[in-house]
Structure 1
Amino acid sequence: MSPSLSLRVLWPLVSLAVVTEEVCGIRSSGGLGGLSVGGSVHQVDVMVSQVVENHLAGCHLVLATTENNGTLSSSILRRLLDIGQARVLVEVSKLFSQDQPVRDHLLQKLWGDGRLTCRALVLVVDSHNTHLLLRFVEASRLWLRPDIPTVVISGSSVATSILHHTSLRNTIHLLYLALENVTHMRPIVKTWLRRGTTGKDGGERVRAFQRCLYCDRGEMGVQLLQRSNLSAPNHWEDNILFSDHLDNFMGHTFRVVTLVYFPFITYDKDATHPEGPVSPLDSLDVRMLDAIAAHLNFTYEIREPWDGTWGVPLAGGNWSGIVGTLQHEQADFSLNLTPSPARMEVITHSRIYTHDPLVIVSLKPGPLPRHLALKRPFVDEVWIMVIVCTSSAGVILWLLQKVWSRWAAQRSIRLDTALFYSWGVLLQDSPGSPPANISSQVCVGWWLLFCLVVTTAYRSSLIAHLSVQSKFPPVNTFEDLLSREGWSWGGLVLWGTTFLYFNQSSDPVIQEVYKQMPTYEVEQGMDRVLSGSFSYVTVKSYTKIDIASLYYDEYGNTPIHLGATEYPVLGGNSWGFRQGAPFLSQFRRTKQRLIETGMVDHWMDDVIKIKVRQIRESRSGEGARMASEVEDGQVVLSLDHLQGVLYLLLLGYVVAFLALVGENMTFRHVARLQPSQTTMKESHAGISFSSG
């Protein structure tokens, strides 16, 4: 930090701007009235210290001056030190003589720690350097801090340029102390005179004016607060200082920018004046805006953005659409607008009041083919387990009989016979008599228990699957879209934060979905959905209206399925405000009351119900575009339900026929190899486990 610039960062949050006509003296021909240097400086620093002590105590105080000798600023600084007020001293002329990096660093540190709750700015400048003062105020970005009160001490020659300067356009509390008659300033609303004072007070008088933003029939005005003698003691304990809390905007007309986004906002446009104000219609944001306007006493005028878009970044740090309109302060605030980190760098948002996530719209899952009904009671893993266990049981039974026959010198059984026996037990039709040895009987007993459990489970599950038709799994997530074969999807026309959500997402799944997602209007997308094998990605508010009004029959049935997973688009829905808007806190408080009382949710449901009813009435007699299939509670099994077992029977006949062909071919082949053999040994017709 340059040693020529005295800057100490201490504690505060109020802007106190002190401007004097002359620094080292007061000219007799004008300026502040011809008082001696010592007397005027003493009285001014006393008044400033009284204002600070009674109204700005404990604030982080920034004292900036353009004086060359610094007589008045030094006196004010000593007075502030006497009352124990923390301060930062800035010599404005030396600040702007610094290199740009040093200057930017100092200005960043100007307002102190972010944890501060009160700040103040004191500016001391002569009339020849008013432009330098206002340049400093602009560079300090005071317009972004509307809650910082400002006190100005000056003569009439610079009053208008300071009170109406753009750098102070958002300052709510601006106090002007004039050390002479300010004849060209018109006091507005009220004039407060201290008891015992008259217009004939001796000596030079000081007049306290307060600049108010909306007091002159909703526009900026000036109020005369007090008139007293400069040489007389002054008291500033009254609550008239910094008393404007903007609870009444006195009929001020706010400029509102928005686009149609039902159920949040809708309006009618004048075809003859497309760029003029629009006429708002019943919608959620309009109801909220009317309630806030009635509470805070203001009116509004709604227009569309110049390019008809919500807002995306452009070159040079500018934005298009609604965001760009607020960025360049061509409107005071917007209605429904989704906040994003990039947008919040150029505009301010109020509290989130609702959410409108993305959802996946598809047809309800269709029924699975009935010819596989016999297989569905068990999953593939269970079927594999049953086949392996049944085959293993036959092999184990054959091995037990093989070992027993050697020990007992009895006849064993063939492997195919044991396999048929295990499968026969599973199918509840075991062939032949049970084995004679104990080890095989134990094996068969446990196998019977296993078969009892498996067949009972299969039978009950089969009844359920035949009675209630199984369906394909629904499409609920973006992962489902990518994993389903032969499936396609599309989305709503992307704009604003919906476009940013897909375009700037780092999620590979979302990137892949976006890469393969064409855009459709809502009606076109829903027609594709009804044709099957297609999903439509849209916002949930659209689905509430379109599906309820067009795709439900009189019994409440619909063919449409909404994905269970909702994808929030950034933070939610709020209103956008130009940066530094002095009325933001009042809007926030009033909206918070509407949210806490449940009015926002109630209005949203009511607006949607009214819209759905209007659409249904306009389509009276047309019916729903597609009704869902509804089955009776009592299901009678038909050939359609039992087609699986018929296919299985047909498959068995085909296998038997192929076996017959195979046997015939085998017989002929063996007959050729053994032409002398005219007869074949007869095969055993039965199965017996009894010992010979």
Structure 2
Amino acid sequence: MVVQVPLAPRLLLTIVLLAPSARQTHQEEVRGSVTPNASLAGEEDRRGEANTNTARGDSEEWRRHLEQLGRLIDDILERVSSLPGEGALLPEVAARRRSQQLRCAAFICDDAYDGVVGAVPLREGPEDDGLPAKGAIRSWLPVFTHRVGEEESLQRPGPETRAMLRAVAKDGCRMLLILMEDGARVGDLLRYGDRERELDTRANYVLLHDPALFRPEALYLWRKVVNVLFLKVHGSPPWFELTTVKFPSWGDETGSDLVDVWSRGAFLLPAQSSQPRPLFREKTHSLRGKTLGVSTFDHMPSAVRDQPSDGLEFHGVEIEILTTLGEFMDFQAQLSDVEGLSNSAGDNRTGGLAGSVARGEADIALGNLFYMPASLRHFDLSIPYTVQCQTFLTPESRLDNAWLTLVLPFQGPTWASLSAALLAGGFLFRAVAALHHRVTRAGGTGRPFATLGDAVLYSWGMLLQVPTPAVPAPWPLRALSIAWWVFCLLAAAAYRSSMTAALSAPPPRLSFDTLADLAAAPDDLICGGLGDEGRRIFSTALDEPSRRLSERFEALEGESAMPMAVASRVAGGHFAYYENEYWLRAARARYLESLEEAEEGGPPAENGVHYDLHVMRECAFTLPVSVGLATNSPLRARVDGLLRRMVETGLVTKWLADVMAPTLEAERRLKGAGEERVLMDLRRLFGALLALVAGHILAGVAFAAEVAIGRRDRRPVGDVKANLIPISNRNQVFTEDSPVASAAPTSAPVRATP
């Protein structure tokens, strides 16, 4: 690995201007060591290793080397944790804010560098400057220290090392210093931490420069660990060259950039502004046109495959997010189409979206990934940009209720109230008539409510708007009759209007709208979803309906999970599909459009019977959705910041509305076409015909009973003249006690009406 040092002339000028005259000898050493086109590997690396080994052989030189290295680490920590305007703060406040910025530091070393932290006294230099003196690492920053044994293999560290790594990750330490004599062991530790995700690769790392860290098998680390400083020692007394990896890098090689030079307690390169020169600069702000691999698959609404004639391969919410990220971060996206989340065997390491990321083929994964532990095992997920309703696409049928035409206008409680009112009305009329007769001692008992049977019959007749044969004479009965007539008019008008609405409305639909309804369905109704993640979600749910659904959950992959295949299977009446609401609505719209275009009624269902498609109203789960990144991706912080701005400005909502616009238009058109006119046919009158037939049957039974009873009990008809009422007295009110014969007129008699 060759490193160009274009800042050498500026470095020499800075040393001449800033260093005191006492350092002339050291300036000559630095001038001879840092030259243009200097190599950080090869022969110089071997010479540096030889100098280090020689110094280690001399205990005094090695102690001096460790002391200078400890001073450098103190200066690095001070530079990284420095705050703007901290001179105006109290020392305790400045120390607390510094510790909050880094939280803590982790120091991992071997036997050779075990004494670096304690090699420098805790107090040296002036104590009245308001800041901790150099060498006082432990005075203001918590430090984890761990020494790795010589025999410990860092390809699979021991339990103590793993416990220390987990503690560092849990406490959120932003600085890791790994100082080991053997660079290969450092590479093993970094590869283990990346593989097991026990190291925060987005933290700041300080490592000793070693050619073993840049072997081909370790180069992929520097595309993840980008905030790194390599300390390379030169000369005696030692001075250090601080370098970092280039990011982004092109090709398989990883270049290095010079960050600063440290010697005798000072950084030698000048600051570019009033602030100190940054040791860990932001590298993901601009990727300078680098091409990033992006894997996705057809899944609504994140990425929808376009027709070949459209010129674009995909569109969707996450495609728009990717385009915006590319514009702000200055990178080019190379899309690749994969088959779902994983292969049919369920091995996420070899197939699908997770497989492409695991093999290093993709830096970004777009596939409507839920922020859940199952996704976090294979991806680094951004902050959620939306939440989605996960529900079911279920079959729906129409209820044939033509035989209930006469009872449809009112519901059960209304019918019960009307029945109670009818029964109470007859008794009320008879009770008022009897009470009036008892109180007034008037002749007669109040026709036409003289008997209980007449009272019930005439009160029911009023409901059918049949008037009574005579107006009752008592005023209490007249007032009650007026109130009863008003009640009957209102009830009849309500029944007629409800009957009209029931006959003009389409038959009701039978659908599943809750998880309880779906769980109570017959066992031949199978549930399914993309992959096996749905089964795991339902099996770990706390409610009983979800656990029951997990027992008959079927995982689909490939062609069987395509929208048309899923909708056709659901239309067969024995399948329900689990997905997000937008996917299900789009699949239903596409299927109904295909039925509309086909002359024969569309593709046949499984059992030859077509059911309507219904999206369940209740959300089984509401899950957050994120953009997937490669594990330990250095882009996550930058992507999170930009994605948060997209959400806050409403861009994600706007893009979702754009993606769903064709589906909404299709739903409106299909709904208008499906609103067929309800014509009055023989099937709609089935209930009325059924009532007519039932009435004839009951009338026949009543007539037969009357004939049988009449033959058994024959009585004389009586005097015909006694049953005649004169025409002139037809409007006279009669009572039971008034003799009919005394009212007989001299004119021609007629038969009295009943």
Q: Give the TM-score taking structure 1 as reference length.
A: 0.71
Aligned equivalents of 2:159, 2:108: Cα separation in 1: 20
**Counterpart position of 1:50:** 75
Q: 2:329 aligns with which of 288, 296, 299?
A: 296
**Counterpart position of 1:243:** 281
Instruction: Note the 1:383-422 alignment, pairs <5 A.
Output: 383-402=415-434, 405=437, 408=441, 410-412=443-445, 413-422=450-459
**Counterpart position of 1:259:** 297
**Counterpart position of 1:523:** 564
**Counterpart position of 2:234:** 180
Instruction: Note the 1:626-641 alignment, pairs <5 A.
Output: 627-631=673-677
Contact 2:585–2:615 under 8 Å retained in 1: no
Structure 1 residue 583 and structure 2 residue 631: aligned? no
Report the AA paired with residue 177 of structure 1: L
Contact 2:318–2:627 under 8 Å retained in 1: no
Aligned equivalents of 2:223, 2:71: Cα separation in 1: 28
Aligned equivalents of 1:233, 1:400: Cα separation in 2: 114
**Counterpart position of 2:531:** 495
Contact 1:405–1:411 under 8 Å retained in 2: yes
Q: 1:504 to 1:109 in 2, by over 3 A?
A: closer
User: How big is each residue's C-alpha offset from its partner over 1:29-64, in whole Å with a ceiling of 9 and x where there is no partner?
Assistant: 588999934543443333222221122343312233
**Count of matched residue positions in the alignment of Structure 1 and Structure 2:** 617
Aligned equivalents of 1:391, 1:109: Cα separation in 2: 81
Aligned equivalents of 1:653, 1:611: Cα separation in 2: 54
SS at match of 1:580: coil
Contact 2:304–2:316 under 8 Å retained in 1: yes
Structure 1 residue 551 and structure 2 residue 592: aligned? yes
Structure 1 residue 477 and structure 2 residue 513: aligned? yes
SS at match of 2:225: coil
Aligned equivalents of 1:513, 1:474: Cα separation in 2: 20
**Counterpart position of 1:653:** 696
Shift in Å at residue 223 of structure 1? 1.0
SS at match of 1:245: coil
User: How big is each residue's C-alpha offset from its partner over 1:569-614, in whole Å with a ceiling of 9 and x where there is no partner?
Assistant: 552433222331111222233333444444444445545667999x
Structure 1 residue 666 and structure 2 residue 703: aligned? no
**Counterpart position of 1:189:** none
**Counterpart position of 2:742:** none
**Counterpart position of 1:9:** none
**Counterpart position of 2:17:** none
Contact 1:397–1:440 under 8 Å retained in 2: yes
**Which one is further off, 604-613 or 383-392?**
604-613
Report the AA paired with residue 255 of structure 2: G
Structure 1 residue 121 and structure 2 residue 162: aligned? no
User: How big is each residue's C-alpha offset from its partner over 1:184-227, in whole Å with a ceiling of 9 and x where there is no partner?
Assistant: xxxxxxxxxxxxxxxxxx96553221223324579632112344
**Counterpart position of 2:374:** 342
**Counterpart position of 2:414:** 382
**Counterpart position of 1:108:** 166
Instruction: Note the 1:142-161 alignment, pairs <5 A.
Output: 144-153=199-208, 160=214
Q: 1:571 aligns with which of 623, 630, 652?
A: 623
Shift in Å at residue 335 of structure 1? 1.1
User: How big is each residue's C-alpha offset from its partner over 1:245-297, in whole Å with a ceiling of 9 and x where there is no partner?
Assistant: 31222444434333332553356999xxxxxxxx9444544443344234323
Contact 1:206–1:227 under 8 Å retained in 2: yes
Report the AA paired with residue 451 of structure 1: C
Report the AA paired with residue 242 of structure 1: F
Contact 1:248–1:296 under 8 Å retained in 2: yes
Q: 1:511 to 1:595 in 2, by over 3 A?
A: same
Q: 1:89 aligns with which of 138, 142, 145?
A: 145
Shift in Å at residue 120 of structure 1? 1.8
Aligned equivalents of 1:472, 1:610: Cα separation in 2: 28
Report the AA paired with residue 338 of structure 1: L
Q: 1:688 to 1:662 in 2, by over 3 A?
A: farther
Q: 1:517 to 1:231 in 2, by over 3 A?
A: closer
Contact 2:169–2:199 under 8 Å retained in 1: no
Aligned equivalents of 1:656, 1:402: Cα separation in 2: 32
Aligned equivalents of 1:314, 1:581: Cα separation in 2: 24
Instruction: Note the 1:56-71 alignment, pairs <5 A.
Output: 56=81, 57-58=98-99, 59=102, 60-67=104-111, 70-71=114-115
Q: Give the TM-score taking structure 2 as reference length.
A: 0.66
Q: 1:162 to 1:84 in 2, by over 3 A?
A: farther
Shift in Å at residue 418 of structure 1? 1.6
Shift in Å at residue 134 of structure 1? 5.0
Q: 1:224 aligns with which of 233, 258, 263?
A: 258
**Which one is further off, 480-489 or 295-304?**
480-489
User: How big is each residue's C-alpha offset from its partner over 1:620-650, in whole Å with a ceiling of 9 and x where there is no partner?
Assistant: xxx9899424339xx9x78777665555445
Q: 1:103 to 1:225 in 2, by over 3 A?
A: closer
Instruction: Note the 1:409-488 alignment, pairs <5 A.
Output: 410-412=443-445, 413-437=450-474, 440-441=477-478, 443-466=480-503, 468-469=504-505, 471-473=507-509, 475=511, 477-478=513-514, 482=518
Aligned equivalents of 1:627, 1:363: Cα separation in 2: 20
Aligned equivalents of 2:430, 2:671: Cα separation in 1: 64
User: How big is each residue's C-alpha offset from its partner over 1:457-505, in whole Å with a ceiling of 9 and x where there is no partner?
Assistant: 3344344445x32531563513585599999866665425445445554
Q: 1:638 to 1:308 in 2, by over 3 A?
A: closer
User: How big is each residue's C-alpha offset from its partner over 1:517-556, in whole Å with a ceiling of 9 and x where there is no partner?
Assistant: 78876435545777889977664444554554563679xx
Instruction: Note the 1:324-343 alignment, pairs <5 A.
Output: 326=357, 331-339=362-370, 340-343=372-375
Report the AA paired with residue 564 of structure 2: E
User: How big is each residue's C-alpha offset from its partner over 1:121-153, in whole Å with a ceiling of 9 and x where there is no partner?
Assistant: 2333334xx455555556666874123222234
Report the AA paired with residue 652 of structure 1: G
Aligned equivalents of 1:232, 1:401: Cα separation in 2: 119
SS at match of 2:294: strand
Aligned equivalents of 2:519, 2:443: Cα separation in 1: 60
Q: Greater CA radius of gyration, 1 or 2?
A: 2
**Unpaired runs of at least 5, structure 2:** 1-44, 82-97, 123-134, 598-610, 726-732, 739-754
| More helix, by proportion | 2
SS at match of 1:177: strand
